[in-house]
Structure 1
């Protein structure tokens, strides 16, 4: 009976091996090959792909760009999500309606959302520039200049994934005990003091979890870039995932793209581990 329990784990273990372990091991093997459009197959070339990667400035620029984009968007998503959660947490009119409306962007797939925003950002046919003209700001080259294109990507990401932060943080707020708030009112603490001394510290754990989840998801940014800017203008909005896609699926440099993917995986694991430990030490007190 003691050994039979492992038989029940076997189906899950086989699925794990099939969808995670085997692709990972195969990718490692491919990364040491010269597989491309001219030389299909697993011809062993040692670490040549990784040596080439170290000198690939385009890859490292895409990685730095992705890191900055991820940190900026997740930070703004957290701030806006927390603000919306605090707003709906209190007894306001039609708060149930607002809860549903705030979740609509997250329910739409990234590709569809990016198509909609690409139409909005269109410099001559989109509705955004006429609105800016009417406000006296003037039309903006949203998708044809590097800085504006990055801003457009950030806007789309913040629009779509702030509801996730809102949902996580609202759930945390609704689960908070009321005794600390009663004690704060007795002590005469105002709203700001109550937030800084009571609400924010008690939300530390859920905040850390929400931020880490979004950092992991944002580090895989691909669909929005593919549909909205295609990495342009030039390579100004190219992220690591999109660059790997170009090398693997467009240029068919399978071996090199596998090496890029493995390096990217290692960098993300190390970076997210460091960030997770830093956030835990910062906001979760023993």
Structure 2
């Protein structure tokens, strides 16, 4: 028995070492850095206590970026869920050529986010882009898509929805394909229509998958930075900055390493707490049981 336990430990050891190397050690190092005054003019890791965290509390630009991310992530993930669920329902049914449509819907997700953002930057170009050209043909004034704070946020949300709705579609379609047939047969025998079947059978059965898909996309959306970098560089001003992009500016571009460490740790804790609360609220709203 002892020999079996030793063999189990040997098999677990590579995974534990990998975990320490890629997660625990960088986390501990970041904690140490966050309490230092390390920056471009002071390359020493001298201990400064909680000075970086006090500075962070008064950094309105950082907190504004978090609130902005909440708007972007919440809005885009909701739209992705609605569109993804609708398209998944269409493909799930006996839609002609559904294999072709499945592949077609996944194309945006297969493209690198930076490349996709660059393409959309051309589409939203104020003088050469097809969007403003179409508005002009309709007799409307051109929109400053990438240089106006409101339009820039709308453009950023459009890119996120276009890029990641296929991912939501894929998860929800997999959930639909795994549903048992018996409840639908019972609903058909009872004479339930399409809407009633969806409301009473399909949607409740899809609740666990829906919650999982939304949480996965919220986690991914919390890392938004590449599209911001390519499309707007956080502008105009700082109106489209995400926390990830702001951390890049402070920690890498301006090389305020100690302060960047404090910002990243605070952001990590905030995301863990927020996503845990959101997951609990979604499970309650979708009436997902704890053992589901």
| Pair 1:9-2:21 in alignment | no
Distance in 2 (CA, whole Å) between partners of 1:186 and 1:159 is 39
Residue of structure 1 in register with 2:116 after alignment? 113
Residue of structure 1 in register with 2:211 after alignment? 208
User: TM-score when scaled to structure 1?
Assistant: 0.98
| Pair 1:256-2:256 in alignment | no
| Pair 1:123-2:126 in alignment | yes
1:33 CA displacement: 0.3
| Pair 1:169-2:172 in alignment | yes
In the TM superposition, what whole-angstrom CA distance separates every residue of 1:33-70 from its partner, at most 9, and x where no partner exists? 00011111210000000000000101000110011110
Question: What do you get for the CA RMSD once the two structures are aligned?
Answer: 1.0
Provide structure 2 residue ranges, at least 5 long, that are not aligned to the other structure. none
Distance in 2 (CA, whole Å) between partners of 1:52 and 1:30 is 15
Residue of structure 2 in register with 1:231 after alignment? 234
Indicate if the aligned counterparts of 2:208 and 2:288 stay in contact, CA closer than 8 A: no
1:159 CA displacement: 0.1
Residue number among 235, 245, 248 corresponding to 1:245 in the alignment:
248
The residue matched to 2:6 in structure 1 has which SS? coil
Residue of structure 2 in register with 1:98 after alignment? 101
Post-superposition, which runs of at least 4 consecutive aligned residues in structure 1 deviate over 6 A? none
Bigger mean CA offset, 34-43 vs 3-12: 3-12
1:5 CA displacement: 1.6
Residue of structure 2 in register with 1:156 after alignment? 159
Provide structure 1 residue ranges, at least 5 long, that are not aligned to the other structure. none
1:263 CA displacement: 0.3
| Pair 1:189-2:192 in alignment | yes
1:180 CA displacement: 1.2
Residue of structure 1 in register with 2:89 after alignment? 86
